[in-house]
Amino acid sequence: MTDRPMGFDTLQIHAGARPDPATGARQTPIYQTTAYVFRDAEHAAALFNLQEVGYIYSRLTNPTVAVLQERIATLEGGVGAVCCSSGHAAQIMALFPLMGPGRNVVVSTRLYGGTVTQFSQTIRRFGWSAKFVDFDDLAAVEAAVDDDTRAIFCESIANPGGYITDLPAIGALAAKVGLPLIVDNTSATPYLCRPIEHGATLVVHSTTKYLTGNGTVTGGCIVDSGKFDWAASGKFPSLSEPEPAYHGLKFAETFGPLAFTFHGIAVGLRDLGMTMNPQAAHYTLMGIETLSLRMERHVQNAMKVAAWLEQDDRIEKVTYAGLPSSPYNHRVASVCPKGAGALFTVALKGGYDACVKLVDSLELFSHVANLGDTRSLIIHSASTTHRQLTPEQQVAAGAAPNVVRLSIGIEDADDIIADLDQALAKAHG
């Protein structure tokens, strides 16, 4: 083939994968092994000293997982990636080399409820803190940054409401203040949005969702843009200063653009142990092969369902950014040019009681704590995924008591609408 860049549809199938050298197997094998035989003592020493790249122990590296890492990094336009056990693990691993006791991260108020809890409660046990800011107010975001801030964090398409972050503006702000921007791209996937092109330093995913797409395994990933200078400010000593565990090696100096990636494996996975298992990587690789096809149908169905709901008298509000009525519709073309995703919320007339009846009356939809499945899914966020939040936080996150979250699947759109119609009739009966 020529040197022309390959298209997304080709890369989602081929990136990172090669026929198995031992057997010729075309599909990436599941390397279900704990450890790997070293060629000799010198080879083992070189691997442990980070002088040679290879496989040591599956807590750190695994051939199946390595293919997935390369594929996701390629699709996102990054230089490397680290896969781990869940999306929440990915968020902690993204912050781990950047933070320290007394340091803070500036985060959007529009985040998945579990992330709000992780950032407002759990990370405090590490001595870290988070400042929650409305990311539509750029002046407030900049004002929240202080000498102890080490990162800025947001979601490209926020869960649950489908709010689209103004990534070009936030990326420019992060560059202005000299901080890494971390973007959770779970709801959009690299097919709809590539945050690195808008200034993101790191991109995190819950691979459990759209990347796998079939609701079978959990997983997470951190993609490294390779574009941030970790040594410029002196604020990131884990990456710029000598690492005692590797005889004074400096990750930024030694590995350059791949500094964060190597640190994530050599220190993050080594010590935190948030490892993705090879079978989970295999399922996710299989899912990614059809990512573009699925996302096209997800978006097509979401647009049709959201437009139908918006015209229904039983509905108070639909938050889908793909609708012309959405205050965030103007961001679709620049941030998510192939569509606004398939995740949004619906506020019902009749409040909480109507929401409960709707959830219990649906037949095609599955009532689960997940999103991004091929199947259409529903949940009442205020009483489940966002239950730990205060009423004020629930409203800010788009998960008020009169709201349900829909994750529109790839079934026939008319069947999805018919199921919603019959359930709404019962909810308001």
* CA–CA distance, 174 with 142 (Å, rounded to integer): 9
**106: confidence class by pLDDT, cuts 50, 70, 90:** very high
pLDDT at 2: 59
Range 9-287: architecture per CATH: 3-Layer(aba) Sandwich (3.40)
58-75: pLDDT as tens digits: 999 999 999 999 999 999
Find tokens 């989970």 and name the residue. Answer: 280
What local confidence, expressed as pLDDT, does residue 388 receive? 75
Give the per-residue pLDDT at 98: 98
d(CA 148, CA 219): 30
Where on the phi/psi map is residue 102: left (φ > 0), alpha (ψ -120 to 50), or beta? Answer: left
Task: Summarize pLDDT for 113-162 with one digit per residue, the tens.
Answer: 889 999 999 999 999 999 999 999 999 999 999 999 999 999 999 998 89
Cis previous bond, 327, omega within 30: no
In this prediction, residue 291 carries a pLDDT of 98
Q: Residue 21: pLDDT band by 50, 70, 90 thresholds?
A: confident
Q: pTM for this structure?
A: 0.95
372-405 per-position pLDDT tens digit: 999 999 999 888 877 777 888 777 777 788 999 9
Provide CB contacts within 8 A for 58, sequence distance 6+. Answer: 31, 33, 34, 35, 275, 278
277-326 tens-digit pLDDT: 999 999 999 999 999 999 999 999 999 999 999 999 999 999 999 999 99
Contact 70, 82 (CB under 8 A): no
Distance (Å, rounded) from C-alpha 250 to C-alpha 255?
Answer: 8
DSSP per-residue string spanning 259-277:
HHHHHIIIIIIHHH--PPP
Residue 234 confidence class, pLDDT cut points 50, 70, 90: very high
How does pLDDT run across 164-209, given as a tens digit for each residue?
999 999 999 999 999 999 999 999 999 999 999 999 999 999 999 9
pLDDT confidence of residue 395: 77
* Mean pLDDT taken over the chain: 95
Could you give the CA distance from residue 130 to residue 331 in angstroms, rounded to a whole number?
Answer: 26
The Cα–Cα gap between 70 and 79 comes to 8
Q: Distance between CA atoms of 78 and 224, rounded to whole angstroms?
A: 5
Q: What's the full length of the chain, in residues?
A: 429
User: In percent, how much of the chain has pLDDT > 70?
Assistant: 99
Query: How many Å apart are CA 386 and CA 186, to the nearest integer?
Result: 17
Tokens, residue 131? 């400042």
Backbone angles phi, psi at 125, to 5 degrees: -70, -20
Residue 184 φ then ψ, to 5°:
-80, 115
Residues 219/85, Cβ–Cβ less than 8 Å: yes
Residue predicted with more confidence, 170 or 429? 170
CA–CA separation, 7 and 116 (whole Å): 36
Encoded tokens for 260: 């964060």
Domain range annotation of the chain: 9-287, 291-427
Given pLDDT bands bounded at 50, 70 and 90, which one contains residue 95?
very high
Task: With beta carbons less than 8 A apart as the criterion, state whether 238 and 260 touch.
Answer: no
What CATH number does the domain located at 291-427 have?
A: 3.90.1150.10
Structure confidence at residue 398 (pLDDT): 75
